[in-house]
Amino acid sequence: MSQLIFVNLPVRDLQHSTAFYEAIGAKKNPQFSDSTASCMVLSETIHVMLLTHDKFSQFTPRRIANARETTEVLICISADSREAVDAITESALGAGGAEPRDRQDYGFMYSRAFEDPDGHIWEPMWMDMDAAKAAMATAGETADA
């Protein structure tokens, strides 16, 4: 079985956050959702658990970070193409998200970023693996010289 990841995020408005994630292509799994949590499926292996603050607090003794004031985590997800990076980012922006930084284009790697309604930052990224390997090999040769 493939290893799964469940990203647990505290949210202020569960319905609004659920709608946002549906707008970027996630599917709600009702089996693991209730009035305190929405299990949003991004892929076979990536799930986002949107948890009300009360529910999230049951899993940690620490204070919940305000993602609009501090960076708790940057969540990077791969995409199949530059166009897919743009599509999910544009969907996020259309659903009320914000773009916290300019796009990054390194030729072999392209990424953008968006914030969800609570300020959690997602970074969709595409990489041409062959070009990346070639760039790394060239960098290694330069370092060895």
Q: Residues 62-79: pLDDT tens digits?
A: 999 999 999 888 999 999
Same domain assignment for residues 136 and 74:
yes
Mean pLDDT calculated for residue range 110-114: 98
- pLDDT at site 131: 76
Distance CA 98, CA 92 (A): 8
User: Which CATH number belongs to the domain containing residue 48 in this structure?
Assistant: 3.10.180.10
Instruction: Pick the range with the lowest mean pLDDT from 3-12, 84-93, 97-106, 128-137.
Output: 128-137
Quote the pTM value. 0.85
The number of distinct structural domains making up the chain is 2
Residue 98, both tokens: 């914000």
Range of the domain at 94: 67-145
User: Which amino acid is located at 69 in the chain?
Assistant: E
Same domain assignment for residues 8 and 31:
yes
57, with CB counted inside 10 A (0-12, 13-18, 19+), is: middle
